[in-house]
Copies of this chain bind each other. A is one copy, B any other.
Amino acid sequence: MALAQLLSPYQQRVDQCLREALVRWPSADHELQQAMEYALLLGGKRVRPVLTYLTGEACGAGSAALDSAATAIECIHAYSLVHDDLPAMDDDALRRGKPTVHIAFNEATAILAGDAMQTLAFQILTEPLAELAAPRQLQLVAALAQASGAAGMCGGQALDLAATGKQQTETELATMHRLKTGALIQAAITMGVLCGSDEAQQYQTDFAEFGAHLGLAFQVQDDVLDVVGDTQVLGKPQGSDSAAEKSTYVQLLGLDGARMQMQHLHDKALQALARIPYNTDKLSKLANILLTRDH
């Protein structure tokens, strides 16, 4: 099964949900609304929402709950990209081959759009759901907040900024990645389980382990592709990480070492998945396809 074939139905679904959220909770300011639309509907693989859908479907979750969780997590991811691209952060002018939000609009609007997209994520999760009790909805809010904040994504981004120009150990690099991107990938999976049956909750630890290994494997792979990939295919200049003086797995472990580490993490992810007595075929397929991509 090709990646596009697996992802496409879920991508369309989350795109539709994001469009609906922008209509359901419109901005008071026209430009802010446009900037949020631009940032939320720019495309991308939508890996996090897809993980939520696939996990939730394995756990017997209802579709409305999954739409809510998947849309919220993509709002957080999209806001983080808008802020990461700002001049004071990574100073990127292009994202997916198009001007970043602060270039297409302006810096103030990009800051506010990111802020409002974070808020929108939590707002989406508060919509009453017939199929999910309030205590479980509150756990969804908690899981997303835990993964996004100072002990998660924001903390990881701060560690990344602090490490620029310094040599990190493998442990430091792993900690940074586990927070900066891993926390949200893991939350996508945790939230999928939270949308599922009561029985499914007992497998949260196994799902979380799958998510943690998968998330880190993506990062090791990113470092590998950054060295061997082609600029045009990746959509960002090849070797941009080393140019920005950031530690990478390839630099620490060598290209072959990094590839072995990725395979090790991939194996561990699939082992965790194998402990779960549900149909997790699509999740393992997604992991296999994503971790063998060459761009």
Contact = CB atoms under 8 A, between A and B. Distances in A.
B134 A111 contact: no
A157 interface: yes
Name which of A109, A112, A137 has the most chain B CB atoms within 10 A of its CB: A112
Interface string A147-178: 01111101111110110000000000001000
A111 B88 contact: yes
A11 interface: no
Nearest to A91: B108
- Of the four ranges (under 10, 10 to 19, 20 to 34, 35 or more), the interface on chain A belongs to 35 or more
A176 to B, nearest CB: 9
Nearest to A137: B138
A146 interface: yes
A162 B119 contact: no
Nearest to A175: B28
A111 B110 CA distance: 11
A158 B29 contact: yes
A111 B146 CA distance: 18
Contacts of A262: none
Chain A interface, >50% SS class: helix
A106 B161 CA distance: 11
B155 A116 contact: yes
A179 interface: yes
B107 A159 contact: no
B114 A149 contact: no
Contacts of A114: 115
Contacts of A29: 150, 155, 158-159, 162
A266 interface: no
Interface in A99-152: 106-109, 111-112, 114-116, 118-120, 122-123, 125-126, 133-135, 137-139, 141-142, 144-146, 148-152
Contact of A159 (B28, B139, B156, B161): B28
